Homo-oligomer: A and B are copies of this chain.
Amino acid sequence: MALYVQKFGGTSVADPERISEVVDHVRRTVARGDQVVMVVSAMGKETDELLRLANEVSDVRPGREMDMLITAGERKAVALVAMALHGAGIPADSFTGSQAGIITDTTHENARIEEVMADRIKESLAAGSVPVVAGSQGMSTDKEVTFLGRGGSDTTAVALAHRLEADACELYTDVPGVFTTDPRLVTNARKMSHLSFDELLEMTACGCPKPAMRSVEYAHRHGVALHIRSAFTWEQGTWVNEEGSMERAIVTAVVHDMSEAKVTISHVPDEPGIAARLFRTLADEDVNVDMIVQNVSNEGVTDISFTVPMSQLDGAVAAANGLGIGQVTSDDKIGKISLIGAGMKSNPGVAAQMFETLAENGINIQMLSTSGIRISAIVDAGRTEDAVNVLHAAFELDRPVF
Protein backbone atom coordinates (compact mmCIF):
# COMPACT_ATOMS: atom_id res chain seq x y z
CA MET A 1 0.00 0.00 0.00
CA ALA A 2 1.47 3.30 -1.12
CA LEU A 3 0.63 6.77 0.16
CA TYR A 4 0.26 9.61 -2.33
CA VAL A 5 -0.23 13.28 -1.70
CA GLN A 6 -2.26 14.49 -4.68
CA LYS A 7 -2.49 18.22 -5.28
CA PHE A 8 -5.17 19.66 -7.56
CA GLY A 9 -5.00 23.27 -8.71
CA GLY A 10 -7.83 25.72 -9.24
CA THR A 11 -8.51 24.67 -12.82
CA SER A 12 -9.01 21.05 -11.74
CA VAL A 13 -11.75 22.00 -9.25
CA ALA A 14 -13.21 24.98 -11.14
CA ASP A 15 -16.80 23.66 -11.17
CA PRO A 16 -18.90 20.68 -10.03
CA GLU A 17 -18.13 18.81 -13.25
CA ARG A 18 -14.38 19.15 -12.86
CA ILE A 19 -14.68 18.21 -9.18
CA SER A 20 -16.44 14.99 -10.15
CA GLU A 21 -13.58 14.14 -12.53
CA VAL A 22 -11.08 14.71 -9.72
CA VAL A 23 -13.16 12.52 -7.42
CA ASP A 24 -13.19 9.79 -10.02
CA HIS A 25 -9.44 10.05 -10.22
CA VAL A 26 -9.01 9.71 -6.45
CA ARG A 27 -11.54 6.88 -6.39
CA ARG A 28 -9.40 4.86 -8.77
CA THR A 29 -6.27 5.41 -6.69
CA VAL A 30 -8.13 4.29 -3.58
CA ALA A 31 -9.62 1.30 -5.42
CA ARG A 32 -6.06 0.17 -6.19
CA GLY A 33 -5.58 -0.10 -2.43
CA ASP A 34 -3.44 3.01 -2.06
CA GLN A 35 -3.91 5.87 0.37
CA VAL A 36 -4.46 9.45 -0.75
CA VAL A 37 -4.10 12.82 0.94
CA MET A 38 -5.56 15.55 -1.27
CA VAL A 39 -4.41 19.16 -1.34
CA VAL A 40 -6.80 21.50 -3.11
CA SER A 41 -6.56 25.10 -4.32
CA ALA A 42 -9.41 27.62 -4.55
CA MET A 43 -11.88 27.01 -7.39
CA GLY A 44 -11.04 28.50 -10.80
CA LYS A 45 -10.60 32.27 -10.62
CA GLU A 46 -11.91 32.57 -7.05
CA THR A 47 -8.68 33.98 -5.59
CA ASP A 48 -8.63 36.70 -8.26
CA GLU A 49 -12.26 37.50 -7.48
CA LEU A 50 -11.50 37.84 -3.75
CA LEU A 51 -8.56 40.13 -4.53
CA ARG A 52 -10.81 42.23 -6.74
CA LEU A 53 -13.33 42.60 -3.91
CA ALA A 54 -10.59 43.59 -1.49
CA ASN A 55 -9.36 46.28 -3.89
CA GLU A 56 -12.87 47.58 -4.26
CA VAL A 57 -13.56 47.67 -0.53
CA SER A 58 -10.46 49.43 0.74
CA ASP A 59 -7.14 51.08 -0.11
CA VAL A 60 -5.76 49.75 3.16
CA ARG A 61 -5.51 45.98 3.12
CA PRO A 62 -3.67 44.63 6.17
CA GLY A 63 -2.00 41.29 5.50
CA ARG A 64 -3.85 39.66 8.37
CA GLU A 65 -7.21 40.55 6.81
CA MET A 66 -6.09 39.62 3.29
CA ASP A 67 -5.15 36.17 4.56
CA MET A 68 -8.47 35.75 6.34
CA LEU A 69 -10.18 36.65 3.07
CA ILE A 70 -8.13 34.64 0.57
CA THR A 71 -8.09 31.44 2.64
CA ALA A 72 -11.90 31.35 2.48
CA GLY A 73 -11.49 30.23 -1.14
CA GLU A 74 -9.65 26.99 -0.36
CA ARG A 75 -11.94 26.30 2.59
CA LYS A 76 -14.92 26.33 0.25
CA ALA A 77 -13.11 24.09 -2.24
CA VAL A 78 -12.08 21.42 0.28
CA ALA A 79 -15.59 21.19 1.73
CA LEU A 80 -17.09 20.70 -1.73
CA VAL A 81 -14.47 18.13 -2.73
CA ALA A 82 -14.95 16.20 0.53
CA MET A 83 -18.72 16.18 -0.06
CA ALA A 84 -18.25 14.99 -3.61
CA LEU A 85 -16.03 12.14 -2.33
CA HIS A 86 -18.78 11.15 0.13
CA GLY A 87 -21.22 11.25 -2.77
CA ALA A 88 -18.99 8.73 -4.57
CA GLY A 89 -18.95 6.47 -1.51
CA ILE A 90 -15.46 7.48 -0.36
CA PRO A 91 -15.19 8.63 3.28
CA ALA A 92 -13.39 11.98 3.38
CA ASP A 93 -12.62 14.80 5.82
CA SER A 94 -11.79 18.36 4.85
CA PHE A 95 -9.14 20.26 6.81
CA THR A 96 -8.10 23.89 6.85
CA GLY A 97 -4.37 24.54 6.89
CA SER A 98 -4.61 25.18 10.61
CA GLN A 99 -6.50 21.92 11.24
CA ALA A 100 -3.93 20.06 9.15
CA GLY A 101 -1.25 21.35 11.50
CA ILE A 102 0.56 23.56 8.98
CA ILE A 103 2.41 25.98 11.26
CA THR A 104 3.92 29.01 9.56
CA ASP A 105 5.90 32.11 10.41
CA THR A 106 3.99 35.36 10.93
CA THR A 107 4.60 36.87 7.45
CA HIS A 108 1.11 37.49 6.15
CA GLU A 109 0.31 37.01 2.44
CA ASN A 110 3.55 35.11 1.92
CA ALA A 111 4.01 32.93 4.99
CA ARG A 112 6.65 30.20 5.19
CA ILE A 113 5.96 26.79 6.66
CA GLU A 114 7.90 26.26 9.89
CA GLU A 115 6.46 22.97 11.03
CA VAL A 116 3.91 20.37 9.92
CA MET A 117 2.07 18.50 12.69
CA ALA A 118 -0.47 16.56 10.59
CA ASP A 119 -1.90 14.65 13.59
CA ARG A 120 -5.46 14.98 12.35
CA ILE A 121 -4.41 13.97 8.84
CA LYS A 122 -2.89 10.78 10.23
CA GLU A 123 -6.04 10.08 12.25
CA SER A 124 -8.18 10.60 9.18
CA LEU A 125 -5.99 8.21 7.14
CA ALA A 126 -6.03 5.66 9.95
CA ALA A 127 -9.83 5.80 9.96
CA GLY A 128 -9.81 4.89 6.26
CA SER A 129 -10.74 8.36 5.05
CA VAL A 130 -9.26 10.63 2.41
CA PRO A 131 -8.08 13.84 4.09
CA VAL A 132 -8.72 16.87 1.87
CA VAL A 133 -6.42 19.71 2.89
CA ALA A 134 -6.84 23.37 1.98
CA GLY A 135 -3.77 24.42 0.05
CA SER A 136 -1.56 27.44 0.62
CA GLN A 137 -2.70 28.14 4.16
CA GLY A 138 -1.66 27.59 7.74
CA MET A 139 -1.72 28.99 11.23
CA SER A 140 1.11 31.26 12.32
CA THR A 141 3.07 30.82 15.51
CA ASP A 142 0.92 33.61 16.97
CA LYS A 143 -2.31 31.77 16.11
CA GLU A 144 -3.33 33.86 13.12
CA VAL A 145 -4.60 32.53 9.78
CA THR A 146 -1.83 32.79 7.17
CA PHE A 147 -1.68 32.44 3.39
CA LEU A 148 1.43 30.98 1.75
CA GLY A 149 1.07 33.09 -1.39
CA ARG A 150 0.03 32.27 -4.96
CA GLY A 151 1.09 28.77 -5.89
CA GLY A 152 1.40 27.88 -2.22
CA SER A 153 -0.74 24.76 -2.63
CA ASP A 154 2.25 23.05 -4.23
CA THR A 155 4.26 23.87 -1.11
CA THR A 156 1.51 22.53 1.16
CA ALA A 157 1.48 19.30 -0.82
CA VAL A 158 5.25 18.88 -0.71
CA ALA A 159 5.41 19.69 3.01
CA LEU A 160 2.70 17.15 3.80
CA ALA A 161 4.33 14.52 1.57
CA HIS A 162 7.56 15.05 3.49
CA ARG A 163 5.91 14.91 6.93
CA LEU A 164 3.80 11.85 6.07
CA GLU A 165 6.73 10.14 4.32
CA ALA A 166 4.53 9.72 1.26
CA ASP A 167 5.73 7.63 -1.64
CA ALA A 168 5.25 10.56 -3.98
CA CYS A 169 3.82 14.04 -4.18
CA GLU A 170 1.69 14.22 -7.32
CA LEU A 171 1.09 17.71 -8.64
CA TYR A 172 -1.90 17.60 -10.99
CA THR A 173 -2.06 20.32 -13.61
CA ASP A 174 -3.88 20.93 -16.87
CA VAL A 175 -0.88 19.70 -18.90
CA PRO A 176 0.38 16.11 -18.93
CA GLY A 177 3.89 16.90 -17.65
CA VAL A 178 6.98 18.97 -18.30
CA PHE A 179 7.96 19.27 -21.97
CA THR A 180 11.29 19.79 -23.70
CA THR A 181 9.81 23.08 -24.86
CA ASP A 182 6.48 24.83 -25.21
CA PRO A 183 4.23 22.42 -27.21
CA ARG A 184 2.24 25.37 -28.51
CA LEU A 185 5.37 26.58 -30.31
CA VAL A 186 7.10 23.37 -31.29
CA THR A 187 4.91 20.58 -32.61
CA ASN A 188 7.31 17.80 -31.73
CA ALA A 189 7.96 19.01 -28.18
CA ARG A 190 8.43 15.90 -26.04
CA LYS A 191 7.12 15.20 -22.55
CA MET A 192 10.08 14.33 -20.33
CA SER A 193 9.75 11.26 -18.14
CA HIS A 194 12.37 12.45 -15.66
CA LEU A 195 13.96 15.71 -14.64
CA SER A 196 16.29 16.76 -11.83
CA PHE A 197 15.30 19.35 -9.22
CA ASP A 198 18.02 21.68 -10.52
CA GLU A 199 16.70 21.50 -14.04
CA LEU A 200 13.12 22.09 -12.93
CA LEU A 201 14.22 25.05 -10.81
CA GLU A 202 15.97 26.64 -13.78
CA MET A 203 12.88 26.07 -15.93
CA THR A 204 10.62 27.53 -13.26
CA ALA A 205 12.88 30.56 -12.94
CA CYS A 206 12.56 31.02 -16.69
CA GLY A 207 8.86 31.70 -16.48
CA CYS A 208 7.43 28.34 -17.53
CA PRO A 209 4.05 27.36 -16.09
CA LYS A 210 5.64 24.93 -13.64
CA PRO A 211 5.20 24.23 -9.93
CA ALA A 212 5.87 27.18 -7.66
CA MET A 213 9.61 27.56 -7.19
CA ARG A 214 9.36 27.40 -3.40
CA SER A 215 7.69 24.03 -3.53
CA VAL A 216 10.42 22.64 -5.80
CA GLU A 217 13.10 24.01 -3.45
CA TYR A 218 11.28 22.42 -0.50
CA ALA A 219 11.06 19.08 -2.31
CA HIS A 220 14.72 19.33 -3.30
CA ARG A 221 15.85 20.09 0.25
CA HIS A 222 13.86 17.22 1.74
CA GLY A 223 14.16 14.73 -1.09
CA VAL A 224 10.42 14.53 -1.83
CA ALA A 225 9.84 12.88 -5.22
CA LEU A 226 7.50 14.98 -7.36
CA HIS A 227 5.28 13.66 -10.10
CA ILE A 228 3.91 16.40 -12.35
CA ARG A 229 0.98 15.04 -14.32
CA SER A 230 -2.41 15.76 -15.83
CA ALA A 231 -5.57 15.71 -13.75
CA PHE A 232 -7.52 14.47 -16.76
CA THR A 233 -5.61 11.47 -18.05
CA TRP A 234 -3.98 8.45 -16.44
CA GLU A 235 -0.75 8.65 -18.37
CA GLN A 236 2.50 9.03 -16.47
CA GLY A 237 3.69 12.61 -16.24
CA THR A 238 7.16 13.87 -15.41
CA TRP A 239 9.03 12.61 -12.36
CA VAL A 240 11.29 15.07 -10.60
CA ASN A 241 13.93 13.82 -8.19
CA GLU A 242 17.55 14.23 -7.21
CA GLU A 243 19.08 12.36 -10.13
CA GLY A 244 16.82 13.44 -12.93
CA SER A 245 16.88 11.15 -15.90
CA MET A 246 19.09 8.14 -16.32
CA GLU A 247 19.24 9.54 -19.82
CA ARG A 248 22.42 11.52 -20.17
CA ALA A 249 21.18 14.18 -22.50
CA ILE A 250 23.34 17.24 -22.47
CA VAL A 251 20.46 19.61 -23.10
CA THR A 252 17.10 18.77 -21.52
CA ALA A 253 14.79 21.55 -22.59
CA VAL A 254 14.39 24.88 -24.35
CA VAL A 255 12.14 27.37 -22.58
CA HIS A 256 11.15 30.88 -23.49
CA ASP A 257 9.66 33.89 -21.77
CA MET A 258 7.97 36.84 -23.47
CA SER A 259 7.14 38.74 -20.29
CA GLU A 260 10.30 40.80 -19.97
CA ALA A 261 11.61 44.06 -21.35
CA LYS A 262 15.15 45.35 -21.71
CA VAL A 263 16.66 48.57 -20.39
CA THR A 264 20.02 49.82 -21.64
CA ILE A 265 22.04 52.65 -20.14
CA SER A 266 24.82 53.76 -22.47
CA HIS A 267 27.79 56.08 -21.93
CA VAL A 268 27.98 55.15 -18.26
CA PRO A 269 31.25 56.31 -16.67
CA ASP A 270 33.28 53.20 -15.88
CA GLU A 271 33.73 54.01 -12.17
CA PRO A 272 33.38 51.75 -9.13
CA GLY A 273 30.02 52.04 -7.42
CA ILE A 274 27.93 53.14 -10.41
CA ALA A 275 26.34 49.71 -10.95
CA ALA A 276 25.80 49.36 -7.21
CA ARG A 277 23.92 52.69 -7.09
CA LEU A 278 21.80 51.67 -10.08
CA PHE A 279 20.70 48.29 -8.77
CA ARG A 280 20.21 49.53 -5.20
CA THR A 281 17.88 52.20 -6.58
CA LEU A 282 15.95 49.61 -8.62
CA ALA A 283 15.74 47.28 -5.60
CA ASP A 284 14.38 50.11 -3.47
CA GLU A 285 11.68 50.61 -6.10
CA ASP A 286 10.84 46.88 -5.91
CA VAL A 287 11.86 46.32 -9.54
CA ASN A 288 12.70 42.65 -10.13
CA VAL A 289 15.82 42.70 -12.26
CA ASP A 290 16.47 39.42 -14.06
CA MET A 291 19.44 39.36 -16.46
CA ILE A 292 22.25 41.92 -16.15
CA VAL A 293 24.96 42.44 -18.73
CA GLN A 294 27.76 44.97 -18.66
CA ASN A 295 29.99 45.38 -21.70
CA VAL A 296 33.72 45.87 -21.40
CA SER A 297 34.74 49.43 -20.93
CA ASN A 298 35.65 51.48 -23.97
CA GLU A 299 37.38 54.87 -23.56
CA GLY A 300 36.23 55.19 -19.93
CA VAL A 301 32.53 54.61 -20.61
CA THR A 302 30.52 51.41 -20.69
CA ASP A 303 26.98 50.14 -21.39
CA ILE A 304 24.79 48.36 -18.85
CA SER A 305 21.73 46.36 -19.95
CA PHE A 306 19.23 44.52 -17.79
CA THR A 307 15.80 42.93 -18.13
CA VAL A 308 12.74 43.53 -15.95
CA PRO A 309 9.13 42.32 -16.06
CA MET A 310 7.20 44.24 -18.73
CA SER A 311 4.89 45.66 -16.05
CA GLN A 312 7.82 47.27 -14.23
CA LEU A 313 9.46 48.79 -17.30
CA ASP A 314 8.18 52.36 -16.79
CA GLY A 315 9.27 52.36 -13.15
CA ALA A 316 12.69 51.01 -14.04
CA VAL A 317 13.25 53.58 -16.78
CA ALA A 318 12.17 56.42 -14.50
CA ALA A 319 14.46 55.20 -11.73
CA ALA A 320 17.39 54.86 -14.13
CA ASN A 321 16.77 58.33 -15.59
CA GLY A 322 16.62 59.77 -12.08
CA LEU A 323 20.22 58.74 -11.46
CA GLY A 324 21.55 60.73 -14.41
CA ILE A 325 24.38 58.29 -15.08
CA GLY A 326 23.98 57.84 -18.82
CA GLN A 327 21.55 57.67 -21.71
CA VAL A 328 18.60 55.38 -20.94
CA THR A 329 16.82 53.46 -23.71
CA SER A 330 14.40 50.55 -23.48
CA ASP A 331 12.94 47.81 -25.64
CA ASP A 332 9.85 45.76 -24.82
CA LYS A 333 9.96 43.75 -28.05
CA ILE A 334 12.26 41.04 -26.79
CA GLY A 335 12.05 37.34 -25.99
CA LYS A 336 14.22 35.29 -23.68
CA ILE A 337 15.18 31.75 -24.67
CA SER A 338 16.99 29.39 -22.34
CA LEU A 339 18.68 26.06 -22.88
CA ILE A 340 18.54 23.90 -19.77
CA GLY A 341 20.37 20.68 -18.96
CA ALA A 342 22.30 19.21 -16.07
CA GLY A 343 24.80 17.81 -18.58
CA MET A 344 25.81 21.27 -19.83
CA LYS A 345 28.26 21.79 -16.95
CA SER A 346 30.71 19.35 -18.47
CA ASN A 347 30.01 20.16 -22.12
CA PRO A 348 31.50 23.52 -23.08
CA GLY A 349 30.44 22.93 -26.67
CA VAL A 350 26.77 23.61 -25.92
CA ALA A 351 27.06 27.39 -25.91
CA ALA A 352 29.00 27.33 -29.16
CA GLN A 353 26.41 25.10 -30.82
CA MET A 354 23.62 27.35 -29.58
CA PHE A 355 25.25 30.51 -30.99
CA GLU A 356 26.01 28.79 -34.29
CA THR A 357 22.45 27.55 -34.64
CA LEU A 358 21.03 30.99 -34.00
CA ALA A 359 23.55 32.66 -36.33
CA GLU A 360 22.82 30.18 -39.13
CA ASN A 361 19.18 31.17 -38.86
CA GLY A 362 19.92 34.89 -38.83
CA ILE A 363 18.78 35.36 -35.24
CA ASN A 364 20.78 38.02 -33.41
CA ILE A 365 21.67 37.63 -29.71
CA GLN A 366 21.19 40.90 -27.82
CA MET A 367 22.13 39.76 -24.31
CA LEU A 368 23.48 36.59 -22.82
CA SER A 369 23.79 35.08 -19.36
CA THR A 370 24.64 31.64 -18.08
CA SER A 371 24.42 29.49 -14.98
CA GLY A 372 25.91 26.04 -14.47
CA ILE A 373 23.00 24.30 -16.16
CA ARG A 374 21.42 27.08 -18.19
CA ILE A 375 22.25 29.46 -21.04
CA SER A 376 19.80 32.31 -21.63
CA ALA A 377 19.78 34.67 -24.59
CA ILE A 378 17.69 37.72 -25.36
CA VAL A 379 16.57 37.89 -28.98
CA ASP A 380 14.12 39.97 -30.99
CA ALA A 381 10.53 39.21 -29.91
CA GLY A 382 9.56 38.41 -33.50
CA ARG A 383 12.27 35.74 -33.77
CA THR A 384 11.68 34.03 -30.41
CA GLU A 385 9.43 31.31 -31.78
CA ASP A 386 11.93 30.56 -34.59
CA ALA A 387 14.76 30.45 -32.07
CA VAL A 388 12.93 27.91 -29.88
CA ASN A 389 12.19 25.73 -32.91
CA VAL A 390 15.68 25.71 -34.38
CA LEU A 391 17.30 25.03 -30.99
CA HIS A 392 14.82 22.23 -30.18
CA ALA A 393 15.72 20.62 -33.50
CA ALA A 394 19.47 21.27 -33.27
CA PHE A 395 19.71 19.54 -29.89
CA GLU A 396 17.37 16.73 -31.04
CA LEU A 397 15.07 17.21 -28.06
CA ASP A 398 12.23 15.44 -29.90
CA ARG A 399 14.16 12.16 -29.75
CA PRO A 400 13.22 9.97 -26.76
CA VAL A 401 16.25 9.15 -24.63
CA PHE A 402 16.56 6.11 -22.35
A residues with a Cβ closer than 8 A to B are 16, 19-20, 50, 53-54, 56-62, 64-66, 68-69, 71-73, 75-76, 78-80, 82-84, 86-88, 92-94, 96, 99, 143, 145
Contacts and interface: CB of A to CB of B under 8 A. Distances in A.
**Chain A interface, DSSP helix/strand/loop, else mixed:** helix
Nearest to A16: B56
B72 A54 contact: no
Given A65-B94, A94-B68, A57 B84 contact: yes
30 contacts: A16-B57, A50-B76, A53-B76, A53-B80, A57-B83, A57-B84, A57-B87, A58-B80, A58-B84, A58-B86, A58-B87, A60-B83, A60-B86, A60-B87, A61-B86, A62-B82, A62-B86, A64-B94, A65-B79, A65-B83, A65-B86, A65-B92, A66-B79, A66-B83, A68-B78, A68-B94, A69-B75, A69-B76, A72-B79, A75-B75
A19 B57 CA distance: 7
Contacts of A65: 79-80, 82-83, 86, 92, 94
Contacts of A62: 82-83, 86
The 8 closest A-B pairs by CB, nearest first: A58-B87, A69-B79, A68-B79, A60-B86, A58-B83, A72-B76, A16-B56, A72-B75
A75 B71 contact: yes
Contacts of A79: 54, 65-66, 68-69, 72
Contacts of A82: 62, 65, 68
A68 B57 contact: no
Contact of A54 (B57, B80, B93, B99): B80
A133 B240 CA distance: 44
Given A60-B83, A62-B83, A72-B76, 13 more contacts: A16-B56, A50-B76, A53-B76, A54-B79, A57-B80, A58-B86, A61-B83, A64-B94, A65-B79, A68-B79, A69-B80, A72-B79, A96-B145
Contacts of A60: 83, 86-87
